[in-house]
Amino acid sequence: MNTQQTFETGQPTGAPRATRAQFVTNDDKDMLRAARDLVKDLGQAKASIYWADMLAMAAIAYAALVGAILVENFALAVGLGILSSLAFYRALMFIHELTHIHRDALPGFRLGWNLLIGIPLLTPSFMYEGVHTLHHKRTQYGTIEDPEYLPLALMKPWSLPLFVLIALLAPIAFMIRFGLLVPLGLLIPPIRRLTWQRASALSINPDFRRKPPEGDLKTRVFWQELGGFVWSWVLVGSVFVIGWKPLLVALAVLSLTAVLNQLRTLVAHLWENEGEPMTVTAQFLDSVNVPPPGPIAEIWAPVGLRYHALHHLMPSMPYHDLPEAHRRLVKELGIASTYQSANHPGMLALVSRIARSTMIARSKR
């Protein structure tokens, strides 16, 4: 066998990849054992890293947004808008960490994130908490009960661009959700019920219906929805004080942020499951790592999301420990392992693969 490694993934050239279909009923126990045993000294969320990263991104995002609104030079304004969008995107992705870290691990971080990012972007943490963890349940991943799964690789080709472009409308949809549907729901219970079931989760499965919140989450939902409602009307009222430009620029910046996140979502998995429960190994192989040395993935898959397949092996691992966990597993398991089969070279290769899958699926219909 040719053991030369590709530059991007470490996978031997010409070596067959392990596939999801090989592990639908049986796990790769050696890989799962290594994932358990090699990282016992990792896993503690470091407040200094979380706070510094999030605060730096928030500062850059807001400063660049103000610059994009105020500068007269169009090219400079566009550049600042892109910078703002990228910084908001990285800061926003901490919502993923909030769903997995222990509630006592980072005192005040959830509140700080919601005040700086979640509520201003109208995506408070309750939109993901209690939802994303369903995606990690052994018996629900890839099934109709998974809020974050669609068999995109098996759908019609036109569904891929539609899936990405519909995210452009996300900022407007969030303003309607918090500014109109929240107060209407207080007066009309069926609207409240529909809003909660269908418009209160960052999900992509149109068949998903969210269950009512319970315990501490119920209290957080109240305060976060109140904050979102107030902020929505502050944004609307701002046009009568400072004009339309600031709001329109902000909406454009956040639409770009939403599209970036949707593109990342598009390549977070291979989306090849048709609804059957899978083993942990099969779920891992249906997920995607885009490891170094390529630096671009850190921009479009920030805060550890470039190790999305690895995250499915160890969901509670803090994002700052994933690179070291990845290095240990590669060293231990070798370049021809099942683990290496989840490593991919980049976004373009993944989009091309999924697009080809939709064409093949169409030809079989």
pLDDT reported for residue 364 = 67
At 306, list the tokens: 């470039």
pLDDT reported for residue 56 = 98
At 172, list the tokens: 């407007």
pLDDT reported for residue 103 = 77
pLDDT reported for residue 9 = 46
Query: By mean pLDDT, which of 17-21, 281-285, 322-326 is the weakest?
Result: 17-21
Average pLDDT of the segment spanning 322-345: 92
Average pLDDT of the segment spanning 188-205: 96
Q: Which residues of 21-30 are buried (b: 16+ CB within 10 A; e: fewer)?
A: eebeeebbee
First CA to last CA across the chain, in angstroms?
37
Q: Give the C-alpha separation, 44 to 161, whole Å.
A: 39
**Does the pLDDT at position 5 exceed 50?**
no
Helix crossing, 47-70 with 245-266: angle to 10°? 130
Q: Please, which pLDDT band fits residue 277 given cuts at 50, 70 and 90?
A: confident
Summarize pLDDT for 203-224 with one digit per residue, the tens.
999 999 999 998 889 999 999 9
Judge whether 340 and 9 are in contact, CB under 8 Å.
Answer: yes
Summarize pLDDT for 143-166 with one digit per residue, the tens.
889 999 999 999 999 999 999 999
Judge whether 339 and 136 are in contact, CB under 8 Å.
Answer: no
* Alpha-carbon distances of 58 from 6, 12, 89, 228, rounded to whole Å: 37, 41, 10, 18
**Does the pLDDT at position 19 exceed 90?**
no
Q: Please, which pLDDT band fits residue 345 given cuts at 50, 70 and 90?
A: very high
pTM: predicted TM-score of the whole model, two decimal places: 0.92
